[in-house]
Structure 1
Amino acid sequence: MSKRREELFAEGKDAGTRLDLFLAGCLAGVSRKTIKRALDGGCVFVDGRVQRRANYSLRGNERVFLTLAGESPPPAKPELHILYRDEGLLAIDKPAGFHSHPTVDGRGNALDLVREELAAGEGGETPILLHRLDGDTTGVLLFALNIETNRDLARQFAQRQVEKTYLALVAGNPPDVFSVRNSLKAGVRGRTIAVTSGGQIAETHFRTLSRAAQFALVEALPKTGRTHQIRTHLAGLGHPLLGDELYGGPTSLSLGGSCLHLRRHLLHASRLGFFSPESRHFMTIDAPLPTDFLPFLREFSPAPGV
Structure 2
Amino acid sequence: MELPPIIFEDETLLALDKPSDLPVVPASGAAHGECLQAMLREVHGRTITAVQRMDAETSGVSLWAKTKPALDFVSGLFQSKTARQVYQAFVIVDKEGDLLMEHPPIRDASGLLPETFTADYWLGPDTVNKNLMRVFSRNGGQVARTEFRVQENFGEYALVEGRPQTNRRHQVRAHLAAAGAPVLNDVLYGDARNQLRLSDIKRGYKGGANERPMIRSLALHLSELTFTHPVSREEISLNAPLPLEFEIALKNLRKFGRGRFGRRS
Above 0.5 in TM-score?
yes
**CA–CA separation in structure 2 for the residues paired with 1:297 and 1:142:** 27
Of residues 217, 220, 226, the one that matches 2:162 is: 220
| CA distance in 1 between partners of 2:17 and 2:168 (Å) | 21
Looking at structure 2, the residues matched to 154 and 219 of structure 1 have their Cα atoms a distance apart, in angstroms, of: 23
Q: Answer whether contact 1:167 1:267 (CA < 8 A) is retained.
A: yes
Distance 1:252 1:268 in 2: 17
Residue in structure 2 matching 1:90, options 11, 14, 19:
14
Following TM superposition, by how much is the alpha carbon of 1:198 offset from its aligned partner in structure 2, in angstroms?
A: 3.4
Aligned to 2:37: 111
Whether the 8 Å CA contact 2:58–2:219 is kept in 1: the answer is: yes
* Residue 90 (structure 2) pairs with residue 169 (structure 1): yes
SS of 2:26's equivalent in the other structure is: coil
**Amino acid in the other structure paired with 1:202:** A
Taking the aligned partners of 1:298 and 1:263, their CA distance within structure 2 comes to: 16
Aligned position for 2:232:
279
Residue 182 of structure 1 pairs with residue 121 of structure 2: yes
1:28-43 equivalences in 2 (<5 Å): none
Verify the 8 A CA contact 2:53 2:169 in the aligned structure 1: no
Distance 2:179 2:74 in 1: 32
Q: CA RMSD in A?
A: 2.0
1:112-157, Cα deviation, whole Å (9 max, x unpaired): 12112325xxxxx720211121111001111111122112111111
- Judge conservation of contact 1:211–1:300 (CA < 8 Å) in 2: no
Runs of 4+ off more than 6 Å: none
3-state SS of paired residue (1:253): coil
Q: What letter is aligned with 2:74?
A: L
The TM-score, its normalising length taken from structure 1, stands at 0.68
* Offset at residue 97 of structure 1 (A): 1.1
Q: Which residue of the partner structure matches residue 141 of structure 1? A: 62
Does residue 230 of the first structure (1) align with residue 135 of the second (2)?
no
Measure, in 1, the Cα distance between the counterparts of 2:41 and 2:194.
33
Gap runs ≥5 in structure 1: 1-76, 120-124
Pick which of 260-269 and 233-242 moved more.
260-269
Q: Secondary structure at the match of 2:121?
A: strand
Aligned positions of 1:17-166 closer than 5 A = 77-106=1-30, 108-119=34-45, 126-166=47-87
Per-residue CA deviations over 1:80-103 (Å, capped at 9, x if unaligned) read 211100110111111111111112
- After superposition, what is the alpha-carbon deviation per residue over 1:60-83, rounded to whole angstroms, capped at 9, x for unaligned? xxxxxxxxxxxxxxxxx3432111
Q: Distance in 2 between the 1:182 and 1:236 partners?
A: 8
- Larger RCO (CA within 8 A; separation ≥ 6): 2
Alignment correspondent of 2:218: 265
Q: AA paired with 1:111?
A: Q
- SS at the partner of 2:89? strand
**Offset, 1:192:** 1.0
Number of the residue aligned with 1:297: 250
Segment of structure 1 superposing worse, 250-259 or 198-207: 250-259
Choose the corresponding residue for 1:193, options 115, 131, 134: 134
Q: SS at 1:117's partner residue?
A: helix
Rounded Cα–Cα distance in structure 2 between residues aligned with 1:102 and 1:227: 17
How many Å apart are 1:223 and its aligned residue? 0.8
The answer to whether the 8 A contact 1:252-1:260 is kept is no
Q: Secondary structure at the match of 2:222?
A: strand
Is the Cα–Cα contact under 8 Å of residues 210 and 300 in structure 1 kept in the other structure?
A: no
From the CA coordinates, give the structure whose radius of gyration is larger. Answer: 1
Partners of 2:254 and 2:197 lie apart in 1 by 18
Q: What letter corresponds to residue 252 of structure 1 in structure 2?
A: Q
* Larger mean Cα displacement after TM superposition, 207-216 or 86-95: 207-216
Partner of 1:45: none
Instruction: Tell me, yes or no, if the aligned pair for 1:115 and 1:127 is still in contact at 8 Å.
Output: yes
Question: Take 2:230 and 2:36, find their aligned partners in 1: how far apart are those partners?
Answer: 22
